[in-house]
Structure 1
Amino acid sequence: MTTETISTPAPPAPHPAQLTARLDSGLSRWLWLVKWLLALPHHIVLALLWIAFMLVGLVAFFSILFTGRYPRPLFDFTAGVLRWDWRVSYYAYGALGTDRYPPFSLADSPDYPARWDVAYPERLSRGLVLVKWWLLAIPHYLVLGLVGGGIRALIGLLSLYAGIALAVTGRYPPGIFDLVVGLNRWVLRVFAYVALLTDEYPPFRLDQGGSEPPAATPR
């Protein structure tokens, strides 16, 4: 009599862009109503940073095209803008997951409940840089644009629902939190790819929850 071993699929390999979030306890029932105003200074600064982001991206494009490298200072700036934007989104209407005011910083803040980072690649494909940000990313643009009339709109609606739940019950629905963070994770993986920070194609996978999926362990 033979016994068959059922193999379980291996966990996905870790993506170079890592997004984590921790839902704060004791969130205010009503602070979320005015976070649009409280976050306004960040949005003003980010508007300027996004202009610089595009200019830096243009310089990085030609650097990768001719040398196969993303200059480290430019890489750190680009990643920092995405990191800053994620912290503000997490505080405000991209998640409403914390009442801690986000820092005015491009650098990582280890004690802040929302974090994002991307591994620096020593080499990048000189050929992919010509097509990945407009051609290869089209399937993701289509999916993220169609879900809920636009992924940003869907995230905003889910965050609004969470805010109403906070006002009524004093609790942030955990299922909504996991979904909101998963959607933001998908968006930022695509951003990392089209911003030329990585050559790894973003997976068509909704990894929900505050932690990244566990890495596969070698056998």
Structure 2
Amino acid sequence: MYAAMTQPVRLEARLEAEPSRWLWVVKWLLLIPHAIVLFFLWLAFFAVSIVAFFAILFTARYPRPLFDFNVGVLRWTWRVWYYGYGGLGTDRYPPFTLAEHPDYPARFDIVYPQRLSRGLVLVKWWLLVLPQLVLVGIFTAGAWRWGGLIPALVLFAGIALLFTGRYPRGIYALVIGLDRWVLRVVAYEALMTDRYPPFRLDPGGAEPQPKPQPEAGSAASASAGETPGAS
């Protein structure tokens, strides 16, 4: 038995041992080609999400090819965000692909749902997600103007890199936890899961593992002051 199930949205990251002190200053320029491609990919993402909305409403299923495409868009976005000003966690230039790159230090995936709620699809993307969107706005608002919590923390990390050559580990863990929170909300709003994003910060590059929970019988015995196996 487990106290909490593994989240269907999986975001992982690995910090480079010695990131460049100065490269982050010009990454905005290096990322222009990705920004152009992602602009069109996100237009397609929204169109696919509309088609998926009606497919879920009538069939309770998210068509697998459409699902894989949208996961690819989020994966691509995460790699660019991690390389750029949502993480600064690597100096390896992001690949131009929707597919997973197991050796790239930023990875993303969503477990494909076999069935989705027809009722939830009507309300989760605009009503149920509202409290989460308020928090996501605080985390990311004005990212290109260094507003929002994530860009502000990354800016501080970049300044630390410039002067010390080190990325503060505590800031890194916090930034990745906030990024993970944001993408969980995006996946839920995009109808790709019915699992509501937890109001919980899971910091660090690795996804949290569920903790074992005592069996009900063992818990009852313990509460009664009994020792398991005693006669």
Q: How does the TM-score come out when normalised to structure 2? A: 0.87
Give the AA of the match of 2:47: L
Which sections of structure 2, spanning at least 5 residues, go unmatched? 215-231
Query: 2:168 aligned to 173, 179, 186, which one?
Result: 173
Matching of residues 121-200 of structure 1 within 5 Å: 121-146=113-138, 153-200=148-195
Counterpart in the other structure of 1:107: 99
Residue 36 (str. 1) matches residue 15 (str. 2): no
Superimposed CA distance per residue, residues 159-183 of structure 1 (whole angstroms, 9 cap, x where no aligned partner): 1111110010000000000000000
Superposed CA RMSD in Å reads 1.6
Q: Distance in 2 between matches of 1:77 and 1:148?
A: 24
CA contact (8 A) 1:121 1:197 kept: yes
The number of equivalent residue pairs is 210
Q: Distance in 2 between matches of 1:149 and 1:81?
A: 21
Q: Distance in 1 between matches of 2:139 and 2:59?
A: 37
Alpha carbons of 1:191 and 1:120: their partners in 2 closer, same or farther (altered >3 Å)? Answer: same
Q: Structure 1 residue 149: deviation in Å?
A: 6.1
Give the AA of the match of 2:13: A
Query: Tell me, what secondary structure is at the counterpart of 1:185?
Result: helix
CA contact (8 A) 1:32 1:96 kept: yes
Give the AA of the match of 2:159: I
Which sections of structure 1, spanning at least 5 residues, go unmatched? 1-9
Q: Structure 1 residue 218: deviation in Å?
A: 6.3
Q: Distance in 1 between matches of 2:46 and 2:84?
A: 24
Query: 1:15 aligned to 7, 28, 34, which one?
Result: 7
Q: How does the TM-score come out when normalised to structure 1? A: 0.92
